[in-house]
Structure 1
Amino acid sequence: MQSVQGAGLLDSKQERPKLNYRKWLKWSLLGMIGVVNGYATVLMYAQGEIPFALLTVVLTALALYIFGSNKTYAHRYIFPGVAGMLVFIIFPLIYTIGLAFTNYSASNQLTLERTQSVLEQRSFQSGESYGFDLYKVENGHQLVIKADGELLASDVFELANTTSEAMTLRQVDSVQGEKEKIKSIVKNRANLTKVELVMPDGHEIRMSGLRKFAADTDLFTLQEDGLSMLNNQTQQMYLPNMEIGFYQPIDADGKFVDKPISPGFVVTVGGANFERVMTDDGIKEPFIDIFIWTVVFAFLAVALTLALGMVLACLVQWEPLQGSSIYRVLLILPYAVPAFISILIFKGLFNQSFGEINLFLEAILGIKPSWFSDPIMARVMVVLVNTWLGFPYMMILCMGLLKSIPDDLYEASAIDGAGPIQNFFTITLPMMIKPLTPLLIASFAFNFNNFVMIQLLTAGGPNMVGTSEPAGYTDLLVSYTYRIAFEGGGGQDFGLAGAIATIIFLLVGGMALLNLRFTKLSQD
C-alpha cells in the first residue's frame, strides 16, 4: 500500500508543469518594450509629430510580431537590417517626398492650431504707462507706481514666490523701505512679469519694461468659428490663407488684402514646388546649369579616375619594374587618408594669394589662376582634386581584374609580334571593361551626389548672380538642394529642397536600376 502511494506521489511530481523562465522573461521584455514605445508614441502624437509616431508604431509592431511568434524565428536575425532600412532609408525618403508637396520652410513650420496659439499670446499696450520702483520692506517687497503726482503702493509680497493674482494699488504718502537698484530688477524680472496690479480706476497693468508698468491687451482674439481672428488694436479681421499658409487680412467681402502676418503654418501646395523648378527663371536656369555640370562632373570623375587608375595598375604590375610593391603602397595612400583631410589640404594649396600651386605657377609661367572666384577655374580645380581622391580606388579594382586575365593571351599575342600598347587595347581593356561596368555606374552615382568634396572645397562657389535661391558654379544638385534648405535668402525652403531631392532620387534610382540591368547581363 505504501509503495502504491509513493508511486502515485512520484507520478504527481512528474506531471507538475515546470515554469518556463525563458518564455516568461521573453514576454516580460516584449511587454515592457511595447509599453515604453506605446507611451513614446502617445507623446509624439500629442506633440504633433505624427510621422514619427507612425514609424514607432510600425517598428514596435514588427518587432513584437517577429520576436513573439515561433513562425518568424528566422526573421529575427534580419530584423536589425530591416529596421535600419526603415529608419534611415524608407522613412527619410517618404518624409522628403511628403515635404516636396508642402510649403514647409523657415517661416511655415507650425500647424494651424499652433499658429493661432502664438498669435493669441501677442499683446499691445492699450493705455498709459507708469514708472515704478521696487522697495525692499519688512517681510518682503513692495511696488510703488507714480501716477498723476501720486504714489500708489502694492501689497507686500514675496519676490521669490510671486503669483499671477492681482494686487490692488493704494495711495500712500511714502514708503518705508530700501529702494532696490536696477540690477535687482533685472535679476528678478521673470518674477516681476507675473505681478498684475489694479489701478484705483479698475484697469489692470503689467510690467512692460525695466522701469514701466502698462495696460496690456491681447492683440488677437480667436472668433467662435475657430478660424478667423480679430486684431483688437485695429479691429481688422484675419483669416487663414490656405494657399500660402499665413493669416491675412480680409475686406468686407471676405477677400484677402494687404500683407500676411507671421508665423505661417504648413499647408499642402500640390506640385507647386516642382512647378517652380520648371517655371521660375531664378530657379530653372541655375537648376539646368547645375544639372548639366553635375552630369559632366560625374562623367569626368569616372573617366579620369578610371584612366589614371588603369594605367597605374598596369605599370605597378609590369614585371620589369623594380620595387613595384613600394609604388603600389605609395599610390594607395591617398585612398587610406580621410577624404576631408586631403580636401582641406588642397584648399590651402589652391589658395589664390598664398597657395603653393599659384606660387609655383607664377614663378614658372607667370600666371596666378583665380581658382575660387573664376567659374571655369573653380570647376577645373574640383575635377583635379576629385581625380586625386578617386584614382586609388580604380587602381585597386584594375589590379584585381588584371590578375584574372590569363597569361596565355599575352603569350600568344607576343608570338604574333604585338606590343604593350596593342595588348592593352586588344586584350586588357576588352577583358576588364565588362566586369567594370557595374562598378563604373556605381561610381557615377556616387560622384553625382558627392556633397562632401564640394562643400569642403568650394561650398558651391563662386556664386551665381540673379538667382532666386543661392546657387554656385561648382554646386552639384545635392549641394544646391542643401543650400536651398539651409541657406535660402528668403527663408529656408524645405519644400522646394524636398522637390529637388525627389528629382535627384528619381535620377539616381534610374542609375541603380541601370546598374542592376548591367550586372544581370554580366552574370548571363
Structure 2
Amino acid sequence: MSTPPTTRAVDPAPIPAGDAPPPRRRDSSHARDFRPGFVVKLALVAVVDALGVLGVLAAWAQESWGILATMVALLVAANVVYFTRRALPMKYILPGLAFLLVYQVFVIAYTGYVAFTNYGDGHNSTKQHAVEALLVQNERRVEGTDTYPLTVLENGDGLGFAVVQPDGDVRAGGAEQPLEDVDATLDGDRVTAVPGWEVLDRAAVLERQADVTSLRVPLSDDPEDGSIRTQDARTGFVAESTLEHDEAADTMTDTTTGTVYTANDRGQFEAPDGSTLAVGWRVAVGFENFTTAFGDSRYASPFLSILLWTFAFAVLSVGSTFLLGMLLAIVFNDTRLRGRKVYRTLLILPYAIPGFLAALLWSGLLNRRFGFVNDVLLGGAEIPWLTDPWLAKLSVLGVNLWLGFPYMFLICVGALQSLPGDVLEAAKIDGAGRWRTWRSVVLPLLLVSTTPLLISSFAFNFNNFTLIYMLTGGGPRFADASVPLGHTDILISMVYSVAGIDGNAPRNYGLASALSIVIFVIVGTISALAFRRTRRHEEIA
C-alpha cells in the first residue's frame, strides 16, 4: 500500500524592499469633479439659473402660471441633465429642445389661444385690471374737499407728490407707490427734502408740466379710495372715481347718473340700454374670429383677393427666381467661359444687400415723379409703378426677382457641380443629345437636390412681409374696403394691418391670430404635400 506524499507548507518568498506593492489610492472622483471644465460648467449653469429665476419672478408678478411652470421645469431639467453622468446625449439635445419649446411650441400654442379670445383694444387684460382701469379713468375731484400744499418730487422711477396733511404730517408717493408717511424737511408748509426723492424746482416742474398734471398718486392700494391730483403743481386735491364696483353683484354703478353696468359674457360692463364701458377684459369667444375672417364682408371680400394674390406672388416668385438662377448657373457652369469667378461674384451682390434696405431703395427708384427709373431711364415719364394695382404687383415681382435669383443661382451651381459624371457619360454613350440629357437626366437630378429648398423658398415668400411692407406698404388701397388693406397685401401683411400695430386700425389680436393659424395650416399643408412629392422623385432617381 503506497503512502500519499506529504505536503509541506512553503513560506512565501520574501519581497525585496524595492518591489513593495504601491499603497492603495484614495478615491479621486471628487478631486476630478473640480477640474477647470467642471468649474466652467458650474458657472454657466449658475448664470442660466439666475436668468431663469428672474423669469420665474417676472411670471409670478404677471400671474402667468403656465410660463412659470414651464420655466421651473426647464430649470430643473437643466440642472439634472448637466449634473449627472447618465444623460450624456441630453446635454447636447436639451438646449435645442428648450429653444424649440420657447420660440416655436409656445408661440404656436399662445397664438392658438389668442385666436379663440377677444384680445384687442378694450380687452387687453384680466377682469381685475379692467375694473382698476375703469375706476382710475373715471376719477373726478370730490366737491367740497380740502386742498393740500403739494410739492413735486422725482426719483429713478419717475415723478411723485409730497403733500402736507392738516396735522403737519407729510405723505409722499408716486404713480405706482401709494402715499405713505415720510420724515420730510419743511419750510413753513412747503416740503424742501424727502428721503429717497429729489425735490423739483419751479423751472423743472414747468418743463414737465404735462406729466405733472396727468400724474395721479393713489391714496392706498385700493383704487376706490381715490388719488391725489394737481393742476398748478402747488396744491393737491383728492380725486375719486365716479364709478363704484360691487364685486358681489358683479356690477359697476355710475354715481353721477345712477346707471348700473352689469358684466356680460363679452368681457364688458353693459347697461340696460346696451351701452358699455370703454375698458373690458379678455374672454373666450370660440370660433368667432374665424367666422369673422370668412363671413364678415369687411374682411371676407379682401381676404379672398389677398389669398389669391398671396399664392400667385409665392408661386411666381419661386418660379421666376429659380428659372433665372438655373439659367445663369448653366451658363456660368461651363468651363469654357473665362472669368467665371468674377461674374459669379457680381451676380450674388444683390443677395449680399439686406432685404429691407433693398426694398426701400427700390421704393425710391420707382417713385412716380422723382424716381431714377422714371426721371432718368424713361426721360421724365410718370409711370405709377407703386400706385397702380397691376403695376404695383408687377413691381413687387420684379424687385423680388432681383433679390431672389442670386440664392437660386448659388444652389443650382452647387447642384450642377455635384451631379455624378458617370451618369452624364452614360447618357452620351447611349446617344442622348444635349437637350435629351438635360431633360431626362440633369433636370430630374437637379430637382431632387433643390426641391426642399424650393419648398422653403415658397414658405418664405408666402410670408415675405419685409418686401411688401417696405416697398408698397400693401398699397394701393382697395377702393371699396372699410379696413386698411391694399392690392399688394399678402396674408401676413393683412395680419399686421388687422392687428392694428401700425395704428391705422383698432387693435384686434384675436382676429390677427386666427388669420395666422390659417396661414400656418396653408403653408404646412402645401409643404407636407410637396415633401411627399419630393420623396417620390428620390425613389425614381
Q: TM-score, normalised by structure 2?
A: 0.75
CA positional deviation for 1:51: 3.7
| Aligned 8 A contact 2:145 2:237 in 1 | yes
| Aligned 8 A contact 1:195 1:207 in 2 | no
Tell me which of 322, 325, 346 is aligned to 2:341. 325
Tell me which of 306, 310, 323 is aligned to 1:307. 323
Residues 216-260 of structure 1, C-alpha deviations (whole Å, 9 max, x = no match) = 4432222250622222222222222222x22222x3xxxxx3321
Match for residue 478 of structure 2? Answer: 464
Structure 1 residues 95-494: aligned runs within 5 Å: 95-121=110-136, 122-127=138-143, 209-210=231-232, 216-225=239-248, 227-243=250-266, 245-249=267-271, 251=272, 257-360=273-376, 362-363=378-379, 367-403=381-417, 404=419, 406=421, 409=424, 418=433, 424-485=438-499, 486-487=501-502, 489-494=504-509
Match for residue 170 of structure 1? Answer: none
CA positional deviation for 1:424: 4.0
Residues 132-165 of structure 1, C-alpha deviations (whole Å, 9 max, x = no match) = 9989xxxxxx999xxxxxxxx9666769899969
Give the Cα separation in 2 of the matches to 1:303 and 1:193.
Answer: 60
Q: Which amino acid aligns with 1:209?
A: Q
Q: Which amino acid aligns with 2:102?
A: V
Structure 1 residues 3-82: aligned runs within 5 Å: 19=30, 22=33, 37=52, 40-82=55-97
| Aligned 8 A contact 2:472 2:488 in 1 | yes
Q: TM-score, normalised by structure 1?
A: 0.77
Q: Secondary structure at the match of 2:262?
A: strand
Give the Cα separation in 2 of the matches to 1:397 and 1:193.
Answer: 61
Q: Secondary structure at the match of 2:348?
A: helix
Give the Cα separation in 1 of the matches to 2:450 and 2:218.
Answer: 76
Q: Provide closer, same or farther for how the CA distance between residues 435 and 214 of structure 1 changes in structure 2, counting only shifts above 3 A.
A: closer
| Aligned 8 A contact 2:332 2:344 in 1 | yes
Q: Secondary structure at the match of 1:268?
A: coil
**Unmatched tracts of structure 2, length 5 or more:** 1-21, 152-161, 182-187, 191-200, 220-225
Q: Provide closer, same or farther for how the CA distance between residues 512 and 62 of structure 1 changes in structure 2, counting only shifts above 3 A.
A: farther
Q: Which amino acid aligns with 2:231?
A: G
Q: Which amino acid aligns with 1:344?
A: L
| Aligned 8 A contact 1:405 1:428 in 2 | no
| Aligned 8 A contact 1:297 1:383 in 2 | yes
**Unmatched tracts of structure 1, length 5 or more:** 1-10, 136-141, 145-152, 167-174, 197-203, 252-256
Q: Provide closer, same or farther for how the CA distance between residues 267 and 424 of structure 1 changes in structure 2, counting only shifts above 3 A.
A: same
Q: Secondary structure at the match of 2:143?
A: strand
CA positional deviation for 1:340: 2.7
Q: Provide closer, same or farther for how the CA distance between residues 183 and 259 of structure 1 changes in structure 2, counting only shifts above 3 A.
A: farther
| Aligned 8 A contact 2:149 2:236 in 1 | no
Q: Secondary structure at the match of 1:265?
A: coil
* Bigger mean CA deviation after superposition, 477-486 or 33-42: 33-42
| Aligned 8 A contact 2:374 2:382 in 1 | yes
CA positional deviation for 1:416: 5.4
Give the Cα separation in 2 of the matches to 1:328 and 1:17.
Answer: 60
| Aligned 8 A contact 2:444 2:537 in 1 | no
